[in-house]
Structure 1
């Protein structure tokens, strides 16, 4: 795929904005996917629920239980971590094995096969993209570097048979020393630059056939230093003006260039919802992301086992709460297929028992189905 011609002042905001507008005009695809027929007629509640759950496993070899769940039509996909990958050849063999199990299932759509390939310190596969988001943002031609990073990520994942990347990060840097800063995962402290670079990454990567995921809505740039949603509760101090004029600003650009997925954070944002983390908050999912920012694609949780959710019950209870809030895909990242099975069973019981709105549930399955229909 050819790189777009870049002609702008290398470090100026005006140059970044010009390139962002060019990308929006030239490379835009229709935003999101609309809910349609999910092709799910005849599926059991357990199979329907499975179309919303991403599984994980421990080690280099997928367990028989995961293969059985896939063959039974009880899994939407699999996330791969560093411990699952010893080489591109090894993980390509695993992907082929999982795809064969899917071919034997009652679900005709391809599995969602994903990893975190952001660049820098956050890479599960060897190879591209090598620079971190921070290094991309500080490069002499940042938009070209972001495009190259997205292109490299897409080609890398596509080369081993994966079809979803949980990247790019659209968090706008604010607080030195926080977990976004320490891992160099933010493109910039300038929201317009983040919008431009994120859009370039998304456009290039999705041009390879690998879906992109913008994260972590509505933003983790103001997370206090020393706190991490993986290890405990995090409350962000940003007021509503900061959230909407800075942290959320990159998302309309990502939506406009057709980003396929958005991951919500597990932080609490008192300016939007003082009681629940973003991924469990209907106000944030529906009002902010879908309403205010116009996203129509697939929402995905961060790791369901994050310790920031310790107050919200078991894996199954968290899965149901996330689905009730408007999350389409539930990401079970404990490297334990039993956790995916628990989430699937809880969702199926809540669906069959009327705890979850059947129409909203079916619409979520339809959005996921539409995403899968467009991938290989």
Structure 2
């Protein structure tokens, strides 16, 4: 016996799916006709602008008001430029520059690019306050560690995106910046009082609500005084009492991907996670990246079953689907995009560079790029100085497996420029840098979250606040190595 068509359509109206490859398969379009709210685009869906525009047009054939979402944060998290790296610096660099007009301008440019391709919502900005130097998943995606600065730039970013007719989705409520675990793999705990959250983590969310943000994304984090043993995504105290009642948010609450271990393991699967998120007050359920027709039908069936057995109230699901539809309606009614300023991102990245020490006399250096793993959010996007070097040899190395004496021999009488990401927490990173610097001229380029560590005896420490294509170009220019 099949699902009740009306209930199935209602359930589909709360789901944000995804599909593999550069061309939307028939099932992805057919589900939109049946009521699916929309799809999220990932790097595997993107080859070039013309192809993306054709894909979004094909999706609109299934549903004219389809929600088409993407994670385009600039900086280290990019989908449109996953093959080369983003032409825009990310939030940490913009926070370092601390020019609100620039932040708004960069996000307006990103929004204009998305709008031109038919994308309706950007799952950005990240408005988490990165208070933990060891944070493995936020880092340079954050505007910084100061709540007031992050709040101001978060509001500017939202204003910029939405001025281009693309809905913004601020994330990750109630704040992922103090975690030292990655919610893609486990359920992180932030064991603080609501009072600490209000002072440290929540000011940016208050600012984006005041700025009229259309959507807010939940965090798969555990805050025991509010969420008990489960994630915020499943907590009515967080999504209703805190976000809607206390902070007055009236837009669409979107979940972080329910396939992430922080949600799926806590609920016993994506389907049960969808039910718990809806019951807690979420409106649009992001299933994740690895989605097929069977998974969408499975999640919809779980929601319909929950409506039948009393786990979900029909009025709650209708409210959720209505808020998703409101989001789709807003994006359809948006105005013309803002024109993009040529090389805006590269100029912004250059302004973010911070130099401690002496970067002169770096003629024909040996550039050593240390391997750094990427997070699921970032994906495997090229980074470093390599594409920008004019006259320098570059080698790759793994910090914990590299003999500093071998690098010294390879460099000979040339200075070494050592490039890394999050060097302070890279296994073997600080030890390798300091061993090299003790007996050789070494300049360090930190392209991740810098932390407090500075290497002894290094000639210079250069911070880019991100590893985008724009950040790499800026570092090469500052060091006098750019072609």
- Aligned residue number for residue 157 of structure 2: 201
Root mean square deviation, CA, Å: 1.7
Q: 1:130 aligns with which of 65, 88, 95?
A: 88
- Aligned residue number for residue 49 of structure 2: 88
Q: Pairwise mapping of residues 311-326 of structure 1 onto structure 2 (< 5 A)? A: 311-326=266-281
Residues 281, 124 of structure 1: CA spacing in aligned structure 2 closer, same or farther, 3 A cutoff?
same
The whole-number CA distance in structure 1 between the counterparts of 2:100 and 2:159 is 11
Write out per-residue CA displacement over residues 88-136 of structure 1, whole angstroms, 9 at most, x where no aligned residue. 1111111111111214xxxxxx011010111101011138761110000
Tell me the SS of whatever aligns to 1:212: strand
The whole-number CA distance in structure 2 between the counterparts of 1:306 and 1:50 is 20
Tell me the SS of whatever aligns to 1:235: coil
Tell me the SS of whatever aligns to 1:171: coil
Q: Return the offset for 1:83.
A: 1.0
Residues 43, 342 of structure 1: CA spacing in aligned structure 2 closer, same or farther, 3 A cutoff?
closer
The whole-number CA distance in structure 1 between the counterparts of 2:310 and 2:191 is 36
The whole-number CA distance in structure 2 between the counterparts of 1:251 and 1:177 is 23
Tell me the SS of whatever aligns to 1:319: helix
Q: Return the offset for 1:274.
A: 2.1
Pair 1:302-2:256 in alignment: yes
Pair 1:48-2:5 in alignment: no
Q: Return the offset for 1:288.
A: 1.0
- Aligned residue number for residue 147 of structure 2: 191
Q: 1:169 aligns with which of 115, 119, 126?
A: 126
Write out per-residue CA displacement over residues 22-74 of structure 1, whole angstroms, 9 at most, x where no aligned residue. xxxxxxxxxxxxxxxxxxxx97111111110001112222222212211222x
Q: Return the offset for 1:374.
A: 1.6
CA contact (8 A) 1:129 1:153 kept: no
Q: Pairwise mapping of residues 137-286 of structure 1 onto structure 2 (< 5 A)? A: 137-139=95-97, 141-182=98-139, 184-224=140-180, 227-286=181-240
The whole-number CA distance in structure 2 between the counterparts of 1:128 and 1:144 is 20
Q: Which runs of 5+ in 2 are unaligned?
A: 333-483
The whole-number CA distance in structure 1 between the counterparts of 2:177 and 2:196 is 11
- Aligned residue number for residue 29 of structure 2: 67
The normalised TM-score by structure 1 is: 0.83
Structure of greater Rg: 2
Structure 1 runs of 4+ aligned residues shifted over 6 Å read: none
The normalised TM-score by structure 2 is: 0.65
Q: 1:115 aligns with which of 59, 67, 70?
A: 70
Q: Pairwise mapping of residues 339-350 of structure 1 onto structure 2 (< 5 A)? A: 339-350=295-306
- Aligned residue number for residue 77 of structure 1: 38
Pair 1:290-2:251 in alignment: no
- Aligned residue number for residue 418 of structure 2: none
Write out per-residue CA displacement over residues 133-170 of structure 1, whole angstroms, 9 at most, x where no aligned residue. 0000011x421221012101210110100000000011
- Aligned residue number for residue 97 of structure 1: 58
The whole-number CA distance in structure 1 between the counterparts of 2:269 and 2:146 is 38
Q: Relative contact order: is structure 1 or structure 2 higher (C-alpha 8 Å, sep ≥ 6)? A: 1
CA contact (8 A) 1:45 1:352 kept: no
The whole-number CA distance in structure 2 between the counterparts of 1:372 and 1:255 is 18
Q: 1:360 aligns with which of 316, 324, 327?
A: 316
Write out per-residue CA displacement over residues 268-290 of structure 1, whole angstroms, 9 at most, x where no aligned residue. 01132222100011111111111
Q: Which runs of 5+ in 1 are unaligned?
A: 1-41, 104-109
Residues 177, 142 of structure 1: CA spacing in aligned structure 2 closer, same or farther, 3 A cutoff?
farther
